[in-house]
A and B are shown apart, each in its own frame.
Chain A
Amino acid sequence: MATPAPNPPTIRAVENLAWKLRRRQIVGSRATALETLLVLRQVISKSKFSNMEQLVTIIRGVGRRLVEAQPKEHSVGNTVRKVLHHIREEYHTATQGTAVTATTGFSISKFVLLGQPRKQTAPPKTENKGTLKENDPDDPDSFARGLKPVLMEAIQDVLDELETVYDNVSKNALNHIHSDEIILTLGMSKTVEHFLISAAHHRNYTVMVLETAPSYGGRDMAQALSAAGISTFLVPDSSLYGLMSRVNKVILGAHAILANGGMFAITGSLLAATAAHAHCTPVVVCAGQFKLTPLWNLYHEYGALDFGDPSQVLGFEEGSLVDKVDVVNPFYDYVQSNLIDAFITNDGDHPPSSIYRLIKETYDDEDNEL
């Protein structure tokens, strides 16, 4: 089946975002997720398709292009997968009864699959508006016309989720932070910032922020927290282990959460988590569910890291040194699942062991490879 090419304006939008991702003009998982979603919305609203497969192929094509542009920004792929999942769901609700579901053979393997954690079936948001007819020879656009409003709604849902993610994560901050506790955090994470500030409305506690060299995101974090009236200490990274015995809880942000319950997070997180492990201090990760990535850490711990700008470690002012040393500045750490106690997401709190289940619920298995 020939795939209708998306028309020029949408191609331009996709390429535009791809370049921005490649040049790192957009960084951060939420920003990239939002941009991806906006581009996808444009693509869907502009593209022509007369059946489900064509639509899915178009979106996958766009997704592949964007993921290849910046494979380390996992939230791009996640957003595409999530949109695909929502599209399929809406399609099934819209065509309930009219579309003949392919009856597949029965097998033990399928029976075992029945045992998989039940997907939460959301109440159908849209009533069945007439019949959707695929591949109508007289009017090839009728399918797209019928489905597009529903799809726009679905994308709006994803968008709403992204926009409210900070509020929803910090919703039950009170249950995690108690009065007079000492919390340790590092780096600059908007999610963690919102979480801590929302707890500060009701609790009186102390935060220690590691400077987090070489990006020094911790300094911004400390500033933001103290501006919100939280008693904040900015401490050098090297004092981490010494301070850990006084810390009640470590709260970290995440870049991507993997299916095995491990995560990628800003450099220094592994150190903090390991130190916390040695002191039996709980490690809690705050993250939106758009960071859930259907990947298992495939041993490529080093290769999977993203490398930042070496000038943060060794600047050009030290020119005499620059050509004598190789400077690497890995941007993320891989933190194994056994070092993490809980993930606080915008949809409840989860132990690392049930992350794979959330991923199964959020995405369709067939989309794991775009």
Chain B
Amino acid sequence: MDICTTYRHKLRDEQVNSAPHLRSTTLIATLEISPPLAAILALSELCATSDAGTMFELVKALNEGANSLRRNSSNPISLNAGCELFIAFVTLFPHDSVPSAVRADPHCEFEAIIEFAEKIIPHRQALTYRTKIAELSVDFIKDDSVILTHSYSRVVMESLLLAHRRSKRISVFVTEARPRGLGLKTAEALTAAGIPCTVILDSAVAYAMEKVDFVLVGSEAVVESGGLINAIGSLNIAIIAKAANKPFYALAESYKFHRLFPLSQYDLPSHNPGILSFPSPVETDRAAEKASSSASSESRSAPGAPLSSSITQEQIAQNNPDVDYTRPDLISLVFSDVGSLTPSGVSQYLVGMFH
């Protein structure tokens, strides 16, 4: 079985299924499935089809599956969280919970694990996770509040829409979130649902912060320090929110809890030497030459024109990170389906889970 195909299948499958809903209801996106969950589903399928005879072999097969998923993914962080959680679950969890009669027989235990693995995540469970989080966070959204959110997050959408359904008059600022521009998607969906929503430039966050009551963001992963990994720009927002003394809330399903302890941006698994690299001197010379020649040959009549139009958006995006790490001291609360936690609470959970 090719695990990568399964994974992609899982992701796509759900999206295809949810497509009709996109048109018919405002409950968009909630039916989609996120990478960690797809990874868990793919791995549990691997469990079910694997011919491993012992626990050791099963874990090995799972690790291999997880590795190949990682290799084939451009942004492995959230996917990794899912894989790790599942493997830890398989290796640690059942030992305490299998009935003692089963525990006596190692082979039975092994079969029991596979059985658990198969039913561990019913497809719709992702939905209940988000509903739970939305229920938790909706208490924190008071009537008449102005919320700043970043990029597009399914769980944030669910919370905002729930607040709207509960007749809370909210209005939302959403950042454009370059380079992917997913903020536009959020804006469209919210406007369609009847929530006043304005897209702001990523560079206008500080300008807008004064009007904002609190910040609500989703997450790629929540890490052991209690910090947060999310689409690039979240750190900026968190720092500005802290400076303006505004609460910064993160929403994270529990399958996004990731056993990772980054100390800086450069400790993230998504970091590679290409990110933020300076061009080599040769390239710089050439670029400068080009710029000067174009400046001299073409007229100087357009002072407002960009200095060098030779850099494209794609080139910028290529050298830039996709995600950033937000330190725990900048986060007010993390809402998860296990409860609303302080960042230190998140780290207690994570430490407790894997040790």
Contact A353 B344 (CB under 8 A): yes
Query: Separation in Å of the B212 CB from the closest CB of chain A?
Result: 14
Inter-chain contact A356/B121, CB cutoff 8 Å: no
A residues neighboring B (CB under 8 Å): 105-109, 111-118, 259-261, 296, 298-300, 353-354, 356-357, 360, 365
For the complex formed, measure the closest distance between the CB of B101 and the CB atoms of chain A, giving whole angstroms. Answer: 13
Q: Is A296 in contact with B139, judged by CB distance below 8 angstroms?
A: yes
Total of A-B residue pairs, C-beta within 8 Å: 80
Given contacts A116-B352, A296-B333, 18 further A-B contacts (CB under 8 A): A107-B121, A107-B125, A108-B86, A108-B120, A112-B257, A112-B338, A112-B349, A114-B353, A115-B353, A116-B349, A117-B348, A117-B352, A260-B342, A298-B140, A298-B142, A299-B142, A354-B344, A365-B339
Q: Is the CB of B348 within 8 A of A357?
A: yes
CB pair B345 A357 closer than 8 Å: yes
Q: Give chain B residues whose Cβ lies under 8 Å from the Cβ of A353.
A: 342, 344-345
**B40: Cβ under 8 A from any A Cβ:** yes
Distance (whole angstroms) from the CB of B341 to the closest CB of chain A: 7
Chain B interface (Cβ within 8 Å of chain A)?
40, 85-86, 88-89, 93-94, 97, 116, 119-121, 125, 129, 139-140, 142, 254-255, 257, 333, 336-342, 344-345, 348-354
Alpha-carbon gap, A117 to B345, bound state (A):
9
A108 touches B140 (CB 8 A): no
Point out the residues of chain B lying under 8 angstroms from A261, CB to CB.
342
Q: Which residues of A contact B336 (CB under 8 A)?
A: 112
- CA distance in complex: A115, B351 (Å): 7
Cβ-defined partner of A109 (8 Å) among B86, B119, B338, B345: B338
Which residue of B is nearest A299, CB measured? B142
**B83 shortest CB reach to chain A, Å:** 12
Minimum CB–CB distance from B254 to chain A (whole Å) comes to 4
**A112: B residues at CB distance < 8 A:** 85, 254-255, 257, 336, 338, 349, 353
Complex CA–CA separation, A104 to B352 (angstroms) = 21
**Most central of B86, B116, B338 by chain A CB within 10 Å:** B338
Distance A353 CA – B345 CA, assembled complex (angstroms): 8
Contact A115 B352 (CB under 8 A): yes
Distance of B13 from chain A, by nearest CB (Å): 19
> Which 9 residue pairs of A and B lie closest in terms of their CB atoms, listed nearest first?
A115-B353, A115-B352, A112-B254, A115-B349, A353-B344, A299-B142, A111-B89, A109-B254, A106-B116
| Chain A to chain B contacts (Cβ below 8 Å), 20 pairs | A106-B94, A106-B97, A108-B40, A108-B86, A108-B89, A108-B120, A108-B121, A112-B85, A112-B255, A114-B352, A115-B351, A115-B353, A116-B352, A117-B352, A260-B333, A261-B342, A296-B340, A298-B139, A357-B345, A360-B339
* A115 vs B120: C-alpha distance when bound (angstroms): 17
Report the separation of the CA atoms of residues A299 and B116 in the bound assembly, to the nearest whole angstrom.
41
The answer to whether A111 touches B344, judged by C-beta atoms less than 8 angstroms apart, is no
Contacts of A365 in B (CB 8 A): 339
Q: Once bound together, how far apart are the Cα atoms of A117 and B339, in whole Å? A: 13
Q: Is the CB of A115 within 8 A of B354?
A: yes
Chain A residues with Cβ below 8 Å from B139 are 296, 298
